[in-house]
Amino acid sequence: MFRDIAVGDKEWRILLLRYFNPIGAHPSGELGEHPVGIPNNLMPYIQQVALGQREFLRVFGSDYPTPDGTAIRDYIHVMDLAEGHVSAVVKVLASPDLGCVPINLGTGKGSSVLEMIRAFEAASGKKVEYKLMDRRPGDSVAVWAATETAEKELGWKSKYNVDDMCTHQWAWASKYPQGYETPL
């Protein structure tokens, strides 16, 4: 739809920002994700297991054609994602003939579910219990971003690695185990 708009009306300047898998928290540990109910996404669930709020993580699929059999995603730090948005606004304001350009906001690197469990254990010093289960219907095997367009068009690339993402997420989780409902 946005592509059609950009073709039909040259006044429009559109960047389509494609998020990969945002995780982590502000490095201060003062701002983070507060999922309501049972999390569907991997990292909030891992966080709750590390906090002892849930017994174990169900790892959806261990027979994928990946090095350790678990699915691969491109996890990106929320602060990198935020910086990507700032770069996008700068680009839009500076580009009268932009048209409509899709941009991937990812790191270009993939990590498996087991790698993310290990990274979170290392960052938190907590054991993350898990059980290998069947695949989740509809899940892709491996997804990561092609980052060249973001680098070329926005001059933006991610800075944080998965260890940073887990460290910052744990800073938030350990300080505020009930998220924004943690008594102060």
For residue 51, what are the contacts with CB-CB under 8 A and spacing of at least 6?
126, 173, 174, 177
Contact with ligand GDU (CB under 6 A) among 5, 16, 30, 41: 41
**C-alpha 184: how far from chain center:** 28
| Contact between 57 and ligand GDU per CB under 6 A | yes
| Contact between 59 and ligand GDU per CB under 6 A | yes
Contact with ligand GDU (CB under 6 A) among 15, 25, 42, 101: 42
Using alpha carbons only, give the angle 124, 130, 135 rounded to the nearest 5 degrees. Answer: 125
Quote the DSSP letter at residue 150. Answer: I
Query: Taking the CA of residue 150 as centre, how many other CA atoms within 13 Å lie in the half-sphere pointing to its CB?
Result: 25
| Contact between 117 and ligand GDU per CB under 6 A | no
CA distance 45 to 113: 12
Residue nearest ligand GDU, Cβ-based? 71
Site string for ligand GDU, 65-94 (x = CB under 6 A): ------x-x---------------------
Phi and psi torsions of 102, nearest 5°: -80, 140
Is 142 strand, coil or helix?
strand
CB of 130 to ligand GDU, least distance (A): 8
Number of chain positions touching ligand GDU (CB under 6 A): 14
**Cβ-based nearer residue to ligand GDU, 4 or 55:** 55
Q: Which residues bind ligand GDU (CB under 6 A)?
A: 21, 40-42, 45, 57-60, 71, 73, 113, 136, 139
